[in-house]
A and B are shown apart, each in its own frame.
Chain A
Amino acid sequence: MTSFGRTGNGGHEGLPRLLAGLEPGGAPMTMAAHTRIHGPLPSVSPQQLIEEVEQSGLRGRGGADFPTARKLRAVAGRRRVGPVIVNGSETEPASAKDRLLLARLPHLVLDGAVLAAGAVGASEVIVKIGSDTPEVVRALESATAVREHERIGIQVVSGPDGYVAGEESAVVHYLNGGGPLPTFVPPRPFERGYRGRPTLIQNPETLAQLALVARFGSAWYRELGTVADPGSALVTITGAVAAPGVYELAFGTPMRDLLDAAGGPSEPLQALLVGGYFGTWMDASAAVGLRLAREDLRSVGCSLGSGVLIALGESACGLHESAGVIAYLAEQSAGQCGPCVFGLRAIADSVGALASGVAGPRERDRVLRWASEIRGRGACHHPDGAVRFVESSLRVFGHEIEGHMRGSCRARPAGLPLGDGAARVRGGRLSDRRKSGDASRTVTA
C-alpha cells in the first residue's frame, strides 16, 4: 500500500508548502525541480485519495469554501464522467494567486488535476484561463508538453474575462460553446456539466493543495493551521501595505502578522477588505486580536473567499472606494436577471450619490431595502456578493455620509468640492485595480 511520508520541504514553521522552491521573479519551475522539491507524482487509489483529502479537511479555494472531498465524491462513481476542469479564470480583480500558481508552479496544479481525474474517473483535464495572460499560456504549454506521456490528456482553453466568467456554471457554459455567463442551477456541474456529463471543477490552489495531501497525507496537512481551519492558504495582500503580493500563510495566523508579512501598513489603516470585491469590509480596529480563521472572520461579518486582503489607509475615502467597486460590480452583471441588472445599477447610483455628498440617510435606507430584496434572486451569486459588499460598506463607512453632505471627505480637506476626483488617492481607486500586486513576491511567514 502507498504510505504517506514527508520529504524535506518544510521551511520556517512548516512553510512554505505550495510556494516551496519558488524563486522571486523566476521562470516556471521545471518538472525536474518540482520532483526534487515535492517528490514524484504518487500512486494512490481513488478511494485512498478521497479518504485522505476528507481527513485533511481541505476546502475549495475559489471562494465557495466547499469541502473538496465532498465534491470529489459527488462526481466519482457517476457514469461517463467528463474532464476535470481547472478553473484558472481568477476574475476577482485584486487576486493574483491562481495566476502565480499556473505561471510559476504549473506542475503542482497539474499534478493535483491529474490525481483528481484519477479519483473521479475522468480521463482528461481542461485548464480554463482568462484572456490576457501570456506568461500563464507559455508556462502551461511547456508543462503539458513534458507531460505528454501521461495517461490523462491536458488541454488549455482561454476565455473572455469579465467578473462573472469565473463562476463555475459560467465556465462550463463557455466550454460547452455558450457565452461566459452563469446558468440557472440545478443541475450543477457535478451532475450535468461539460457536454452534459458529471464534471469536477476546482480552483488551481485547491488542486495544488491536493497534490501535496496525496504525497504527504492528511496528518501532515493538519500540522499547520487549526483544527477547524487546517493547512495553509495563499493570500493576495494589496492596498496600503509596503510589499503587496501573494503570500502563503497558515490558517490561524493573527491578522496583524498577515499585514506584517506584506511589509506592514504603509500608513495607518482604517479598514480591511477581506475576500476582494466579493467580500466585505471590516474596521481596522476590529482586526486586532483576529486570526485568519473562519470563526474569527465570521464574527466580524467576513470570510476569506478567494484569499484577497486589501488594506485601506487613513488617507483614502471608504465611501468613494466602495462606490467605485459597486459601480464595477453593477457593470459586470451578466445582464440575464432583472433584479441584478436593475437592482445593482440603482444601488450603484445611490452609493455614488452618497459618496458625492448629494444624498443622505434616506438614500442609504433605500439602498439597504433594495439590497435585502435583491439577495438570492439572481441565477448566480453575483448580486448576493454585491449586496453583501454594499451592506458592509454602509456598516463601516456609513457614519461618513453626513460629513460628505457637508462637503468634508477624508480624501480631501474639508471645504473642497467633491466629485470623481476625490477618489484619486495614493495608488488610485480600488476599482481601477486589475491584477494588482507584484505576483513575483512570495515571501512567506
Chain B
Amino acid sequence: MSATLRVNPITCEAHGLCAELLPELIRLDDWGYPILDESEVPPDLVGLARRAVDVCPTLALLLDEN
C-alpha cells in the first residue's frame, strides 16, 4: 500500500497550507510554491497527507493511493 503526492502546478496558487500541515514532505520555494523533495508518502504520514489534500483551497494537491 503506497501513496504518492503530486501538485497540479496550474491550479496551485501558493496558499502554502500544504507546507504548514506537512513540513516533513513539503517546503516552499522563494515565491511560496510547494517543492516535493520526496513524492513517496511514508505510512505514518498518510493521514496528514489526506488532510493536506482536503485543505488545499484550489484542490491542487493530489494524493494517489494504490
- Which B residues touch A343, using CB under 8 A? 29, 31
Asked if A41 is at the interface (CB within 8 A of a chain B CB), the reply is: no
Inter-chain contact A377/B33, CB cutoff 8 Å: yes
Expressed in whole angstroms, the Cα–Cα distance for A370 and B8 within the complex equals 20
Interface size on B, residues (CB 8 A): 14
**B9's contact among A184, A346, A370, A373, by CB below 8 Å, is which?**
A184
Do A379 and B9 touch (CB < 8 A)?
yes
- Give the secondary structure class of A's interface: helix
Task: Verify A377–B9 contact, CB threshold 8 A.
Answer: yes
Instruction: Give the A interface residue count (CB, 8 A).
Output: 16
Chain A residues near B8: list those with CB within 8 A. Answer: 184, 379
- Which residue on A lies nearest to B14, using beta carbons? A338
Q: Mark B4-43, 1 if CB is under 8 A from A, else 0.
A: 0001111111100000000000000111110100000000
Contact indicator B12/A337 (Cβ below 8 Å): yes
Consensus secondary structure, chain B interface: loop
B12 proximity list for chain A (CB < 8 A): 337-338
**A346 contacts which of B11, B14, B30 (Cβ < 8 Å)?**
B30
Q: Which residue of A lies closest to B32 (CB)?
A: A338
The reply on A142 being an interface residue by CB < 8 A is no
> Are B35 and A377 in contact, with the CB atoms below 8 A?
yes
Check A378 for interface membership: any CB of B closer than 8 A.
Answer: yes
- Whether A338 pairs with B35 at a CB distance below 8 angstroms is no
| A337-B31 in contact (CB<8A) | no
Q: How far is the CA of A343 from the CA of B32 in the complex (A)?
A: 11
A43 within 8 A of B: no
Which residues of chain B have C-beta atoms less than 8 A from A279's C-beta?
none
Q: In the docked arrangement, what's the CA distance between A342 and B32, Å? A: 10
Residues of chain B within 8 A of A184, CB atoms compared: 8-11
Which residues on B sit within 8 Å (CB–CB) of A337?
9-10, 12
Q: Verify if A336 is at the interface (C-beta below 8 Å from B).
A: yes
Q: Is the CB of A379 within 8 A of B35?
A: no
B45 to chain A, nearest CB (A): 21
Q: Does A339 contact B (CB under 8 A)?
A: yes
Contacts of A342 in B (CB 8 A): 30-31, 33
Assembled-state Cα–Cα distance A343/B33 (Å)? 10
| Bound: A338/B11 CA distance, A | 10
Whether A336 contacts B9 in the complex (CB less than 8 A), given A343-B29, A373-B29, comes out as yes
A86 CB → nearest B CB, Å:
26
B-contact bits for A316-340, CB 8 A (1 contact / 0 none)? 0000000000000000000011111
Shortest distance from the beta carbon of B21 to any chain A beta carbon, whole Å: 19
**B33, closest chain A residue (CB):** A338
Chain A residue contacts of B33, Cβ below 8 A: 338-339, 342, 377
Task: Enumerate chain A residues within 8 angstroms of B31, measured Cβ to Cβ.
Answer: 338-339, 342-343
Within 8 A of B (CB), among A328-382: 336-340, 342-343, 346, 370, 373-374, 377-379
> How distant is the Cα of A77 from the Cα of B29 in the complex, in angstroms?
43
Provide the bound-state CA to CA distance between A337 and B31, in Å.
11
Q: Measured between C-beta atoms, what is the minimum distance from B52 to chain A in Å? A: 17
Please indicate the chain B residues that have their CB under 8 angstroms from the CB of A378 in the complex. Answer: 9
Contact A339 B29 (CB under 8 A): yes
Given the complex, which residues of A lie within 8 Å of B11, measured CB to CB? 184
**Does A373 contact B10, Cβ atoms closer than 8 Å?**
no
A312 to chain B minimum Cβ distance, whole angstroms, is 31
Residues of the A chain whose Cβ atoms lie less than 8 Å from the Cβ of B10: 183-184, 336-337, 379
CB distance from A370 to the nearest CB of B (A): 7
Q: Which residues of A contact B32 (CB under 8 A)?
A: 338
The answer for the CA separation of A379 and B12 in the assembled complex, in Å, is: 11
Residues of B within 8 A of A374 (CB): 29
Write 29 A-B pairs (CB below 8 A) sorted by A numbering. Answer: A184-B8, A184-B9, A184-B10, A184-B11, A336-B9, A336-B10, A337-B12, A338-B9, A338-B12, A338-B14, A338-B32, A338-B33, A339-B29, A339-B33, A340-B9, A342-B31, A342-B33, A343-B29, A343-B31, A346-B30, A370-B30, A373-B30, A373-B35, A374-B29, A377-B9, A377-B33, A377-B35, A378-B9, A379-B9
Binding site for A on B (CB under 8 A): 7-14, 29-33, 35
Given contacts A373-B35, A378-B9, 15 further A-B contacts (CB under 8 A): A184-B8, A336-B9, A337-B12, A338-B12, A338-B14, A338-B32, A338-B33, A339-B9, A339-B29, A340-B9, A342-B30, A342-B31, A377-B35, A379-B8, A379-B10
Counting from the closest, the 9 A-B pairs by CB-CB distance are A337-B9, A338-B33, A342-B31, A336-B10, A379-B10, A379-B9, A184-B8, A339-B33, A184-B10
